[in-house]
Structures are given as structure tokens and as C-alpha cells.
Amino acid sequence: MRAEHPKLEAGLAALGIDVRSGASLSELTSLGIGGTTDLLRITKHDSIPDLIELLEHHNIQYKFLGGGSNLLVGDGELPWVILQLAKPDPEIVLEGNFAHVDAAADLGRTVTFCAKHDLGGMEGLIGVPGTVGGALRMNAGAYGMQIGSYVREVKLYRAAERKIEILKGNQISFEYRHTSFGPDDMMLAVTLELPSKPFKEILQGIRICNEKRRSSQPLGQKSAGCIFKNPPGASAGRMIDELGLKGLSVGDAKVSDRHANFFVNAGQASAKDMLALISDVRGRVENAFGVKLENEVVVWNA
């Protein structure tokens, strides 16, 4: 989809939108899969309501991209433009135990920045790629913690109300890789309340989490993290492993040899290959265990 109409281009320029024509989603996602479209980078949160109105007026569909680390995007010319927040400066402002963080901030850098100021709690999130906005949307978590536990306030564009609002943490429900935000809501900034901890102690926790990841995940390969959510009381990876499916492939899409719930792009995998592999594995697990695995990866397929 191209944002090419002259009136649209003028409207985007007036809103301070930075347009990158023909962006390749294979370069913007950690799986390295996905076709092309225009990327619209938002420099001012306040421009979002007018931007959405402008796009709708021109019948242009859109999707919202964070860091692209939990996405499987379709091949070829894509039928929507991509919106993404540009990073402001500064991305993080600390106030006692509160960290006010822009949604475009890198999650890992946020964890380490807070750690250096003796604010802990998020050690488990070290090694989770992507942005703070994406982590909020997905309620990212690992090793027994999730970001939602620390959220006190979220500034977001509420698609249903067509305006920017602030929600208190207790107005939002954060569950396992699921939140109560609307499907088209856009996270803009968050206030986290983090426990005080000496930097040395946080660093120790970070090292332990890093080591666990290094020893179990295919970190040098292109992936989107876990493909499936764990069903209640079970492990998707263990079920896939028990069926001997590590190494199973469709084209260059492959079940990782290291972690059975990580599917990797071992070369030039297409979205079609990856979707076929996901469907094959889901079917085999259902036949063997009677459990239908739900995607953790977000699929944007035309």
C-alpha cells in the first residue's frame, strides 16, 4: 500500500510524519520475513488522532509496528501502511521509584537504564527484544515475571474514542501474553513503578537470565521468540520436542534444534513457508495431545 495521493502526502507532511516509501518488513522484523509497504513514522503523539482520520479519509488501512520482534508478516506488496513511533529524546525520565518511558524506547535499554539507577524488578525481561510499547501490548514476560505487574499508568491512543487518554494500571488487565487494550489502541508512554535494589544485585539477576537464554534459545538465528503460547499447565516446546519435531522444516522455515517452540528463518523463508510449518506442527500436536496450540506470534497476513 502506498501513501501517494498528493493531498494525503501534504496532510502527512503537515502532521510531521516521516514517510519511508517501500519499506521492507523483512528488514524491520526479527524473523526477517515480510513484504513491502510505506512506513509512516510518528514524531509527535498528538498528531495521531488527525493521522488516523487522514488515513481513513483516503481508505488506507494501517498496522502498528513496535520493534518487530513478535511478528510474522505476509509476503509481497502489503495492503496496509505501517505506523511506527519515532524515538524521542529522552526516552526515559526517572522520578523516585517511577520510570516514565516512551513506548518507542528499546525494552532492554530501559531495563539496564533503570538498573543503573538502582531500580529493579524487570531482570527477566533482559534479552526480550523490541520496544516498551510492544512489551506492554503483549504483556511480555519471562522467568516468572511480566511487565504488567509494574505498570501504574499508560498513555495511549484509544481507537474506540479516537483520542489520547491516560489509563491507570488498575483499569487494565494484564494476563499471560494478553491485555485488555483494544485491538487498534496504540501505546504511547507508560509509567512503571519499580522496586529499589542495588545495581549489583540487579546485575546478578540479569546475568542469570542471560545465561538461561543463552543455554536454551537459538539467539544467533532469525526468530520471533516463541511461536505458540503455553497451554494452561503445559509447555508447547516440550510437546513439540516430545514429538521429535526439532529440525522439521518447510523451505527455509525450521523448528529450532535448540528450542522446539522457536521457529527460525534459516535462510530465505517466506511467510507462506513459516505459516505452513506452524500449521503442520499445530496439527501434529493436536493429533497427539488433543491440545490446539494458540499463536503467541502475531500474524499479519494479507
Ligand X SMILES: Cc1cc2nc3c(=O)[nH]c(=O)nc-3n(C[C@H](O)[C@H](O)[C@H](O)COP(=O)(O)OP(=O)(O)OC[C@H]3O[C@@H](n4cnc5c(N)ncnc54)[C@H](O)[C@@H]3O)c2cc1C
Residues that bind ligand X (CB under 6 A): 30, 64-71, 103, 128-131, 133-135, 137-138, 140-142, 186-187, 217, 223-225, 298
Least Cβ distance, residue 178 to ligand X (angstroms) = 11
Q: With respect to ligand X, which residue has the nearer C-beta, 96 or 232? A: 232
CA dist., res. 175 & res. 182, Å (int): 14
CA atoms of 79 and 63, how far apart (whole Å): 10
CB of 63 to ligand X, least distance (A): 6
Nearer Cβ to ligand X (80/118): 80
- Nearest CA among 29, 76, 82 for reference residue 302: 76
- Decide: 122 and 147 in contact? Cβ < 8 Å: yes
Shorter beta-carbon distance to ligand X: residue 7 or 207:
207
Distance CA 40, CA 22 (A): 11
Cα separation, 285 vs 288, in Å, equals: 5
Report the alpha-carbon distance of residue 114 to residue 123 in Å, rounded. 10
Residue tagged 525520565 (cell numbers): 93
Q: How far apart are CA 294 and CA 296, in angstroms?
A: 7
We find the least distance from the C-beta atom of residue 6 to ligand X, in angstroms, to be 29
Sign of the four-CA dihedral 230, 231, 233, 234: negative
CA distance 197 to 182: 34
Do the Cβ atoms of 191 and 104 come closer than 8 Å? no
Q: Which is nearer to ligand X, 72 or 285 (CB)?
A: 72
Instruction: Give the nearer residue to ligand X in terms of CB position, either 5 or 178.
Output: 178
Phi, psi of 91, deg, nearest 5: -90, -25
Phi/psi at 162 (5° precision): 60, 35
The least CB distance from residue 143 to ligand X, in Å, is 8
Cβ neighbours of 10 (radius 10 Å): 11
Shortest reach from residue 288's CB to ligand X, in Å: 25
CA atoms within 13 A on the CB side of 28: 25
Nearer to ligand X, 217 or 270 (CB): 217
Query: Smallest distance from the beta carbon of 7 to ligand X, in angstroms?
Result: 27
Q: Residue of minimal CB distance from ligand X?
A: 134
Least distance between ligand X and beta carbon 120 (Å): 17
Q: Which is nearer to ligand X, 64 or 113 (CB)?
A: 64
- C-beta of 145: minimal distance to ligand X in Å? 10
- Please identify, using beta-carbon distances, which residue of 141 and 205 lies nearer to ligand X: 141
C-alpha cell at 107: 525494552
